[in-house]
Structure 1
């Protein structure tokens, strides 16, 4: 049975209560307050819903993750990185990045990054928890991604690209920095061929929960926006 969250309670049901079909649906309702979002990520779930749906919370099993030391970079992409075609920055244009991620896609008519979602993650950015990666060609934003950094874990949310390999360059640059900053894991949520090409793999929900317990409260050496 699906749990409906009360607005005045920030607790989530145990992860093993998530439905098998659809995979990982854990709860519905609640709100997108910073306190609830932080509680959700610490618990091991995240919001994902479309316009017209109630707010839905997910904890899929298995969970797709990338260990920074296991990142694979294709030869053609390494060549692109050596060319220095793009400039990559952090936390310089969060609003523009999340708007880019929410923009229209060729494979779908809608977006799960609704206006309330954008506003919610902007609040987390202002709190220093949500971060953006910007990819520039000259003065033009041509790609980027955003997510949350908590302890030694990075929770990836979405990326976009307006030029060849732009989001890939941003992702590789981010993961290289996360590795150097001592991050243990990048949460990719659900599997895609794109992420698997970088070395992302599936782990059990239980293994992901153990990673949360181990790394959420560990300090990193991250310097965002530098």
Structure 2
């Protein structure tokens, strides 16, 4: 692994530097400029609050091709019955904070801290990060957020306060942007997203698709 200089916004090239665990670098900072550069390279931060910042590029990479999304009969009915309402970029920070508070199986604590929230809010205002909200009876009950690099949406986290809210939101927006998103980066395996069609692909295949978006 490589230690980053906080005064120099640089990273090891994930195409040339291969770490068995997927951990590419340690340290640096969470300034918006560094975050954006990391996502353009295919890296993302993931660490426990109070520890050194860890930057990852796992191999294989967990992704979803929008045209391969799986929608169950029960979810089709939920969407057809308009149980939820959907918006975009209406309350980015609220979505992040809800993701921060969400309880997750086999996970103690969260990597979403105040520095990360501050930088992502700035990326959102710059049009580089987006939030997708799910509402029910006027209440925010689900959603997710991430970074948009060309036609690649790098999903960061999602939350759900009522049954099926986050799943409905993910399906709604993946279907809506099926022709505009080439790939959704889900980063690390989850049974929830696998049930919706996400799968593992080689790191270099992911990086090739990503590189096409910034060339």
What TM-score do the two structures reach when normalised by structure 2? 0.95
RMSD of aligned residue pairs (Cα, Å): 1.2
Q: 2:39 and 2:131 mapped to 1: Cα distance?
A: 17
Q: 1:147 and 1:188 mapped to 2: Cα distance?
A: 10
Question: Any stretches of 5+ residues in structure 1 without a counterpart?
Answer: 218-226
Runs of 4 or more consecutive aligned structure 1 residues displaced over 2 Å after TM superposition: 16-19, 106-109
Partner deviation per Cα, 1:95-154 (whole Å, 9 max, x = no partner): 111110000415344111111111111111111111111100011000010011121110
Quote the residue 1:64 is aligned against: 62
Quote the residue 1:214 is aligned against: 212
Partner deviation per Cα, 1:47-68 (whole Å, 9 max, x = no partner): 0111121011000000011111
Q: 1:4 to 1:120 in 2, by over 3 A?
A: same
What TM-score do the two structures reach when normalised by structure 1? 0.91
Quote the residue 1:121 is aligned against: 120
Q: 1:18 and 1:103 mapped to 2: Cα distance?
A: 33
Question: Any stretches of 5+ residues in structure 2 without a counterpart?
Answer: none
Q: 1:104 to 1:156 in 2, by over 3 A?
A: closer
Quote the residue 1:49 is aligned against: 47
Q: 2:102 and 2:201 mapped to 1: Cα distance?
A: 31
Total equivalences in the alignment: 213
* Equivalences for residues 69-88 of structure 1 within 5 A: 69-88=67-86
Q: 1:14 and 1:82 mapped to 2: Cα distance?
A: 45
Please give the secondary structure, in 2, of the residue aligned with 1:52.
Answer: coil
